[in-house]
Amino acid sequence: MKDADLREIRAAVEKRAREIAAKTGLVLRSVEVGRGEGSLVSIEARADFANVAVFANAAFSAAPATGATYAWSFVTPREILFQDGVFSARVLRGSAPPRGDPFRARLKGHHARFTVHLPGEVSHADGARSGSSVTWRYSLDHLCDDPAEMKAEAKAQSMTGTLLLGALLLAGLAVMIASLFRKGKRVR
């Protein structure tokens, strides 16, 4: 892939990401486009959002674009829910290229990767977990034909331990101050 092609892809992805952010309320942090293995292009968009309901917005839906190029909304997680430490999401195939479409041949061997950072430590997940994050990886062929489901559960960090540590530190500080005060009286 030529550098000019990569710049063109980056410009198109960045434009689309900004459009989606403007329509949905996402705060776009960065868009990275680079070379992957072989002809693979790596695209990573980072954004902040106040509520997972933003992903139900119609701005993520797309029909086939002009020519044989399709919008990539079929790789965007939907039906996202995070409640009581349990995260779940589905990738729907509604705007994927239909079977038999020549564009599908380009998808072979390529993958989509999703990483979610959860509050607290991940206790269970059907993806690869690392500390407070979980990553799922799906082949684009799979996403065209089958809905993908992601599930993870996080244990909230214990406030009891933090409060206990704070209380111990305060008690230690009080003992130190009291002992210094006593030593000060003895010296005089």
Q: Among the listed ranges 6-15, 104-113, 119-128, which one has the minimum average pLDDT value?
A: 104-113
The rounded distance, in Å, linking the Cα atoms of 9 and 18 is 14
Beta bridge partners of 154: 122
140: left (phi over 0), alpha (psi -120 to 50) or beta: alpha
Phi, psi of 185 (to 5 degrees): -70, -40
For all residues of the chain together, what is the average pLDDT? 76
- CA angle, 81 then 111 then 154, to 5°: 30
pLDDT of residue 65: 47
Map residue 42 onto helix, strand or coil: strand
| Whether the predicted model's global pTM rises above the 0.85 cut | no
Q: What is the pLDDT of residues 38-66, one digit of tens each?
A: 666 777 888 887 776 676 676 665 444 44
Helix (H) or strand (E) holding 21: helix 3-24
Nearest to 123 by CA among 83, 99, 154, 93: 154
When pLDDT is cut at 50, 70 and 90, the band that residue 124 belongs to is very high
The rounded distance, in Å, linking the Cα atoms of 165 and 33 is 44
Q: Are 48 and 29 in contact (CB under 8 A)?
A: yes
Nearest to 138 by CA among 46, 74, 45: 74
The rounded distance, in Å, linking the Cα atoms of 15 and 175 is 61
Q: Are 149 and 114 in contact (CB under 8 A)?
A: no
CA 48, 50, 52, 58 torsion-angle sign? negative
pLDDT of residue 64: 45
The whole-number average pLDDT for the span 89-106 is 77
